[in-house]
Amino acid sequence: MSILVNKNSRVVVQGITGSEGTFHATQMLEYGTNIVAGVTPGKGGQSTIDGKVPVFNSVEEAKIETDANVSIIFVPPPFAAEAIIEASDAGIELAVCITEGVPVQDMVKAKRIIDQNNMRLLGPNCPGIITVDECKLGIMPGFICQKGNVGVVSKSGTLTYEAIGQLGNVGLGQTTAIGIGGDPIIGTSMIDVLELFENDPETKGVVMIGEIGGQMENDAARWAKKNMTKPIVGFIAGQTAPPGRRMGHAGAIVSGGDDTAEAKMRILTENGIAVCESVADIGEKMKKALNN
């Protein structure tokens, strides 16, 4: 079992002929991801990556010809939301948008449409998703992962990698690792991912990495207390951030209420989540939680 993607996922890469798209599509193919098509308007009929991937003018054409069901988007910010909508209108089930800097007003429109079409979106501004030894979508370094029984969900790309590394240091592998993105409007929440991990029989514990700003981590902690049977280890980034300062992600703005790191850590603890003060503690805390 895995969540969202596996070796049978049929992937289309939007923006595959751009430098980022080509580079990361090559890495994904080498990992074993089943890329069946690429999309670049005006370049349909060509092939790319040593002739391995056919290129189409639209996602609709790619889906008709290859039966793709997952899309990954490497499209510049001004056009990324339209690429998300295009995937949704074509009947794609899951889209992963790596693009950083997508205008918020564009995402408001895109979110409304993908919700109507019932397409799941990861991102934007996220590192993607990896189901270990099966499918890698995005920019995560696959070599740091090892197969195991811990799920990872994170707002932060680099902290996702660090959490995976810390788990590996204590001999714990992963089922699926997901970066949901840190923008104000994203497609998938922490609660959404926690529910998927709860229903995955191979996942025995979950690492949840949040950050200052917003209420998503607090909501997830309260939901988990009522609905999760599996242990969760949490970390909140931005513990030294002053109120009102934006830290990295566009959504990480502290108003001074219960969206500070201190408040979130308290709320997570109150709801039964083992909270780490340092990323370096994640592996040991997860190992202890699984052994209890």
| 1-5, 153-157, 204-208, 241-245: the lowest-pLDDT one | 241-245
Q: Tell me the pLDDT of the chain averaged across its residues.
A: 94
The pLDDT score that the predictor gives to residue 265 is 96
Alpha-carbon separation of residue 212 from 124, 242, 249, 263 (angstroms):
18, 10, 10, 9
Buried b (16+ CB within 10 A) or exposed e, 167-201: bbeeebebbbbbbbbbbebbbbebbebbbbbbebe
The pLDDT score that the predictor gives to residue 249 is 57
What pLDDT, in 10s, does the model give residues 28-87?
999 999 999 999 999 999 999 999 999 999 999 999 999 999 999 999 999 999 999 999
Residue whose token pair is 């590394």: 165
Beta bridge partners of 150: 174, 205
Q: Give the active site residue among 24, 230, 249, 264.
A: 249
The pLDDT score that the predictor gives to residue 292 is 83
Query: Rounded mean pLDDT of 88-103?
Result: 97
What pLDDT, in 10s, does the model give residues 99-138?
999 999 999 999 999 999 999 999 999 999 999 999 999 9
Domains of the chain plus CATH, in order, are 11-122 (3.40.50.720), 128-291 (3.40.50.261)
Confidence band, pLDDT 50/70/90 cuts, at residue 242: low
Angle (nearest 5°) at CA 9 between 6 and 14:
125
Cα–Cα distance measured from residue 275 to residue 262, given in angstroms and rounded to the nearest whole number: 11
User: What is the H or E stretch that residue 280 is in?
Assistant: none
Beta strands per DSSP E along 91-204: 94-97, 120-122, 128-131, 135-138, 147-154, 174-179
Confidence band, pLDDT 50/70/90 cuts, at residue 22: very high
Confidence band, pLDDT 50/70/90 cuts, at residue 244: low
The pLDDT score that the predictor gives to residue 202 is 97
Whether 24 sits among the annotated catalytic residues: the reply is no
What pLDDT, in 10s, does the model give residues 248-262?
555 555 455 678 889
Cα–Cα distance measured from residue 39 to residue 110, given in angstroms and rounded to the nearest whole number: 19
Contact 210, 230 (CB under 8 A): no
What pLDDT, in 10s, does the model give residues 145-176?
999 999 999 998 889 999 999 999 999 999 99
Q: Is the peptide bond before 231 cis (omega within 30 degrees of 0)?
A: no
The pLDDT score that the predictor gives to residue 264 is 95
Contact 157, 222 (CB under 8 A): no
